[in-house]
């Protein structure tokens, strides 16, 4: 199994929400030990939190964290990425692998800011990595070694499913699978709100909506599952579910989801453009 090959140590630079989810997913996989993970933070209280929860190495020194790391993950927001890369660039050793998880900094900017002797890749995980059920699009940079590809794939295989694709496709995925969990959770809220509008109390409504999503997701996770078959199992011809589904379609469910995805992709592109413009240093 690919995840047996997770390299060590892994340095996660920026111990925020996504980094914590990845730490949880990796530890849960059983293929990574806390001592294999280094995470950097800006606030010591946050560092203490991560250390006490997971037993990982916590550092406040990014250049020190990358020293000897088999894999370096950049998990800061766009605004902090340039400064972080400037800090670590002199400390990186030839042959190391750097994977940016930023949704809105392109490979061109990453490769320009990092030494040409390192492999640079992008990954776009989603929050289910925390429970080993993430889907993670991966894009290699222009100077990526076979080892870098293998180790990056192994890491994301330990937290779910890695998928290789072009950078343009990864941008599209940002608006589909990166954002997607939030859309699904919002649907659960809407289902609970609808139950409440018909007199179900708030706690019961929440339990019904959550239980429905979790149960449906488990059916979807079965190896032979297809959505048309799963829908057909619920929807008796001429019956009740069919009436609800027809209303969802008539009200434009597919159009609304399509618009949300388009807007998210557009926003990803705009933010990446703004970042690229900021990286242009005046001569």
Ligand X SMILES: O=C(O)[C@@H]1CCC=N1
Cα 148 to Cα 24, 40, 61, 98, 275, distances in angstroms: 22, 22, 24, 9, 25
- C-alpha 114: how far from its chain's center? 22
Return the number of the residue (102 or 159) whose C-beta is nearest ligand NAI.
Answer: 102
Residue 174 engages ligand X in binding (rule: CB under 6 A): yes
Residue 220 labeled ligand binder = no
Shortest approach of ligand X to residue 100 CB, angstroms? 12
List of residues contacting ligand NAI (CB under 6 A): 13-19, 40-42, 62, 75-78, 80, 84, 101-104, 124-127, 178
Residue 27 labeled ligand binder = no
Shortest approach of ligand X to residue 230 CB, angstroms? 27
Residue in 66, 72, 85, 103 binding ligand X, rule: CB under 6 A:
103
Shortest approach of ligand X to residue 223 CB, angstroms? 28
Residue 159 engages ligand X in binding (rule: CB under 6 A): no
How many C-beta neighbours within 10 Å does residue 96 have?
23
Return the number of the residue (103 or 105) whose C-beta is nearest ligand X.
Answer: 103
Shortest approach of ligand NAI to residue 66 CB, angstroms? 11
- Sign for the CA dihedral angle at 137, 122, 73, 79 comes to negative
Shortest approach of ligand NAI to residue 139 CB, angstroms? 13
Q: Where are the beta strands (DSSP E) in the chain?
A: 10-13, 37-40, 57-59, 71-74, 97-100, 119-123, 134-140, 160-164
Distance CA 62, CA 83 (A): 11
Residue 15 labeled ligand binder = yes
- 132 — alpha (psi -120 to 50), left (phi > 0) or beta? left
Query: What does 7 interact with, of ligand X, ligand NAI, none (CB < 5 to 8 A by kind)?
Result: none
Residue 160 labeled ligand binder = no
Residue nearest to ligand NAI (CB): 16
Residue nearest to ligand X (CB): 178
Distance CA 138, CA 125 (A): 9
Annotated binding-site members for NADP(+): 13-18
Binding-site residues from annotation for NADPH: 62
Residues that bind ligand X (CB under 6 A): 103, 174, 178-179
């Amino acid at each position: 199994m690919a995840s047996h090959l997770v390299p060590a140590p892994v340095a996660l630079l920026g111990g925020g929400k996504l980094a914590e989810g990845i730490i949880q997913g990796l530890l849960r996989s059983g293929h990574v030990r806390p001592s294999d993970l280094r995470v950097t933070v800006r606030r010591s209280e946050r560092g203490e939190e991560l250390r006490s929860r997971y037993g990982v190495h916590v550092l406040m020194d990014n250049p020190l964290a990358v020293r000897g790391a088999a894999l370096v993950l950049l998990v800061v927001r766009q605004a902090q990425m340039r400064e972080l890369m400037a800090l670590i660039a002199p400390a990186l050793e030839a042959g190391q692998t750097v994977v940016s998880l930023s949704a809105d900094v392109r490979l061109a900017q990453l490769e320009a800011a990092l030494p040409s002797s390192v492999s640079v890749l992008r990954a776009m995980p989603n929050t289910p990595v925390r429970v080993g059920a993430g889907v993670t699009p991966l894009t290699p940079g222009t100077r990526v070694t076979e080892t870098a590809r293998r180790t990056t794939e192994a890491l994301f295989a330990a937290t779910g499913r890695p998928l290789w694709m072009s950078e343009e496709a990864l941008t599209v995925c940002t608006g589909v699978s990166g954002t997607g969990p939030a859309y699904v959770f919002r649907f659960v809220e809407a289902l609970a709100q609808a139950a409440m509008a018909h007199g179900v109390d708030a706690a019961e409504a929440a339990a019904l909506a959550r239980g429905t999503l979790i149960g449906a997701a488990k059916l979807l996770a079965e190896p032979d599952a297809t959505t048309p078959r799963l829908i057909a199992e619920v929807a008796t011809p001429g019956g009740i579910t069919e009436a609800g589904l027809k209303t969802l379609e008539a009200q434009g469910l597919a159009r609304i989801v399509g618009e949300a995805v388009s807007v998210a992709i557009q926003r990803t592109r705009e933010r990446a453009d703004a970042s690229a413009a900021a990286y242009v240093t005046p001569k």
